[in-house]
A and B are shown apart, each in its own frame.
Chain A
């Protein structure tokens, strides 16, 4: 209980540093919203099929797809880069030498990112509601929330895991964006996929981005049943477990020289 209090206290300090860091503020908070506006304005007038016999305006499609992008940025990208910077500066080593339990620290990092992700998704949803009348469906709201939380947690874990393979802070934006940007283009996030070539479809489905995007977009539009995409969530969960194993094995507290 006391350790949980320590973790929540740590969230407060992490948030303080996050809000004062111009790079994290811009890339995590402003960037996704900028994409939402730009994509909606440029591509917004077409139509896209989001389910059997169900088409929506592309501008509407971008509400849940950029929400998915926000989650990936706030979790995977933000955690991997900020952990690498903390590690390079020696701040992680200092924390590790203190009595703060490892899990309290990691929980705090992940919890903070998940909260930021939820905040961003809320902004995306509000944007969609105001400008495109794309309101969050009440019938699939539980599915949407479950998908959001599972996805956020998995991408946080993957962010922690990838940090073990990043040689130093300078390399972190390259490694992180290099791994996630191509996937964002082929995973139904930046570009709505309409009859992609089969190999691209298969390639995208190997990685977690596509499954998260499909599950989140599905729960936003597919109003039949609960909207829960269990198979996609299972694949996401598998990535999360793999990330956990790799993270525990390869995570580093000290600067790599």
Chain B
């Protein structure tokens, strides 16, 4: 079994009287894309910054690649790439100069051209940082994180402010890094991003872990009722024989079912016999976002009662 890249056990951190992190535990396997999710103020950034070595913990155990990040060990920093939530680079240096400056800090940096191409800044490599757009600056952040060819990459909301095309590119870059065997620790508010990238997800709320699993199976998502949605003419008589609950939602009819195969069979057989078309027919499972909202709302409600 591959060793864990990140191990967190009973992590605690308070700011004055405010307990930001109240006993979080999880592990991230080497080579995994891991996403830490949660509403603003849940303790995500605190947790990530403890792992990155920027903050001290009050309690619990933490290890990244076998090192305690609180010691600021250089051997750990040499194997770690960090994209912070806010970018910070010297505005008067060019893209090339910035990446080259950071490359120099690492024992085995990734070739400059490769880094620049990975983030798609070839056209901008001689531009000063002041002249870059927000999305380009974010890509420069990613480039800096990749400069040292890290084993573990921390990405704190890496695609915030990207246009859809740039976001797709960034996702491809991250997928490519996973294929190279890198461990990727992600936080994000985009559930599409998490669905597309993450192997495993931990959701925290008010400083505690409230759910954990693969995006596809989180909180029993794969077993949750499917929804069939379609449109029929107003005068159509839906058959009583169809053995499931339905309700009207505007023009649409919505059907919740645990057995979408059978329900679709009954529905479509009926429609064919009646010579009706079921316009806009679709079958959906609850999205990761639905599950996420449900979990964090429940946790939030429980939190205010406690």
What residues of chain A have their CB less than 8 Å away from a CB belonging to chain B? 6, 9-10, 13, 16-17, 20-21, 86, 89-94, 96-101, 254
Contact = CB atoms under 8 A, between A and B. Distances in A.
Interface stretch (B29-37, B101-109, B253-261): B101-109
Contact of B101 (A13, A90, A96): A13
Contacts of B102: 98
Given A94-B144, A98-B77, A6 B105 contact: yes
B78 A21 contact: no
Interface stretch (B17-25, B89-97, B211-219, B234-242): B89-97
Interface in B146-178: 148
B78 A99 contact: yes
Interface of B: 52-54, 74, 77-78, 80, 82, 84, 86-93, 97, 101-102, 104-106, 128, 144, 148
6 tightest Cβ-Cβ pairs between the two chains A and B? A90-B88, A20-B92, A99-B77, A91-B88, A17-B92, A100-B105
A100 B77 CA distance: 9
Contacts of B144: 94
Given A6-B104, A13-B101, A99 B74 contact: yes
A16 B148 CA distance: 22
A9 B104 contact: yes
A218 to B, nearest CB: 39
Nearest to B53: A97
A255 B128 CA distance: 23
Nearest to A14: B90
A166 B97 CA distance: 29
Contact of B52 (A13, A97, A100): A97
A17 B77 contact: no
B82 A97 contact: yes
A90 B86 contact: yes
Contacts of B90: 13, 17, 86, 89, 91
B89 A94 contact: yes
A94 B84 contact: yes
Contacts of B105: 6, 98-100
Given A20-B128, A91-B88, A96 B93 contact: no
Contacts of A20: 92, 128
A105 to B, nearest CB: 10
Given A9-B104, A13-B97, A90-B86, A96 B54 contact: yes
A10 B84 CA distance: 22
A99 B84 CA distance: 16
Contact of A94 (B74, B78, B88, B91): B88
